[in-house]
């Protein structure tokens, strides 16, 4: 991130895990591109932690092992790392805050998930981003990312414009203008903190929370589609229009 961004920093926090009664040190990682100087400020999020327990494994004896997280974690990070390289020096007229989030998938219960998102929401940077785009599990084969329902309610203008934009650049088969699932994810703390955020996610991934969440079940084409959408969005007037009500 230091090669592509300015002001790269960590934002540490810790959590006492119910399972071990030990404090786990964690940290979000943030980097900026033209962030402070641009009137329009956009946050791009992905979680970089991976789940410590493969609770969807068939064999109960294997459920205590951590998942590799090629899709559930690494896919969003991979797209953001490549995107920041692509956007370096481009000065698209909007400021970008790249945020790699820790503690999304600690769990196993939802009361111990989204920890880095909650930490970010409680410690919003100043100035705060006007909206956010979250990537999660966007690396699976035959990627299909419809409009996640909490996003459509919590960030209606952004969601509408982003999916219209995807259709305009020929990506409507990957990002169909259709209602998807209702998903609890890192975007909910951001929305509650006043940063409307759309969650781009495809939860129809057979290897979800198993030890088989590995690169051979992912597709470079899927990562590319998401990267193309974000790059096109950031360099279009829609990125600014989406800050409206
Ligand atoms: Zn997960």
* Residue 245: pLDDT band with limits 50, 70, 90: low
Tokens of 197: 């955020």
**Spatial contact of 141 and 218, defined as CB atoms under 8 Å apart:** yes
CA of residue 236 to ligand 1 center, whole Å: 31
What's the pLDDT tens digit per position in 67-83?
A: 999 999 999 999 999 99
CA of residue 238 to ligand 1 center, whole Å: 30
| pLDDT over 70 (residue 54) | yes
Ligand 1 ion: residues within 5 Å (CB): 72, 105
Tokens of 228: 């193309």
pTM (global) more than 0.95: yes
What's the pLDDT tens digit per position in 228-239?
A: 999 999 999 999
Taking the C-alpha atoms of residue 163 and residue 178, their distance in angstroms, rounded to an integer, is 9
CA of residue 64 to ligand 1 center, whole Å: 15
**What is the pLDDT at residue 47?**
98
**What is the pLDDT at residue 39?**
95
Which residue ranges form the domains of the chain, and what is each CATH number? 34-236 (3.40.630.10)
**What is the pLDDT at residue 244?**
78
CA of residue 234 to ligand 1 center, whole Å: 27
Taking the C-alpha atoms of residue 16 and residue 39, their distance in angstroms, rounded to an integer, is 38
Provide the percentage of residues in the chain whose pLDDT is more than 70: 100
CA of residue 243 to ligand 1 center, whole Å: 29
Q: What are phi and psi of 80, to 5 degrees?
A: -65, -40
CA of residue 126 to ligand 1 center, whole Å: 29
DSSP string covering 59-85: SGGGTTSPP--IIIIIHHHHHHHHHHH
The residue count for the chain: 245
CA of residue 67 to ligand 1 center, whole Å: 9
What's the pLDDT tens digit per position in 132-153?
A: 999 999 999 999 999 999 999 9
38-60 in b/e form (b: 16+ CB < 10 A) is: bebbbbbbbbbbbbbbbebbeee
Q: Packing angle between helix 220-234 and helix 156-168, nearest 10 degrees? A: 110
What's the pLDDT tens digit per position in 187-222?
A: 999 999 999 999 999 999 999 999 999 999 999 999
Q: Environment class of residue 224 by beta-carbon count within 10 Å: exposed (0-12), middle (13-18) or buried (19+)? A: middle
**What is the pLDDT at residue 137?**
98
DSSP string covering 83-94: HHHHHTTT--SS
Rounded to the nearest integer, the mean pLDDT of the chain is 97
CA of residue 204 to ligand 1 center, whole Å: 12
CA of residue 131 to ligand 1 center, whole Å: 23
| pLDDT over 90 (residue 8) | yes
């Amino acid at each position: 991130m230091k090669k592509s961004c300015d002001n790269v920093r960590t934002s540490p926090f810790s959590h006492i895990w119910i399972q071990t009664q030990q404090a786990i040190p964690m940290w979000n990682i943030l980097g900026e591109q033209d962030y402070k100087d641009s009137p329009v400020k956009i946050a791009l999020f992905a979680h970089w932690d991976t789940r410590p327990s493969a609770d969807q494994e068939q064999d109960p004896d294997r459920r205590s092992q951590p998942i590799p997280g090629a899709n559930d974690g690494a896919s969003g990070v991979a797209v953001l790392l490549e995107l920041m390289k692509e956007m370096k020096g481009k000065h698209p007229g909007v400021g970008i805050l790249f945020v790699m989030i820790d503690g999304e998938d600690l769990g196993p219960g939802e009361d111990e998930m989204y920890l880095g998102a909650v930490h970010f929401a409680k410690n919003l940077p100043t100035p705060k981003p006007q909206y956010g785009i979250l990537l999660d599990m966007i690396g699976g084969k035959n990627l299909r990312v419809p409009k996640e329902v909490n996003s459509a309610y919590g960030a209606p203008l952004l969601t509408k414009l982003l999916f219209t934009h995807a259709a305009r650049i020929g990506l409507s088969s990957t990002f169909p203008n259709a209602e998807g699932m209702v998903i609890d994810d890192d975007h909910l703390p951001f929305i509650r903190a006043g940063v409307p955020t759309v969650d781009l996610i495809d939860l129809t991934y057979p290897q979800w929370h198993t030890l088989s969440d590995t690169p051979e079940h992912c597709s470079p084409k899927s990562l590319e589609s998401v990267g193309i959408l974000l790059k096109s969005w950031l360099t279009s007037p829609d990125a600014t229009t989406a800050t409206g009500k």
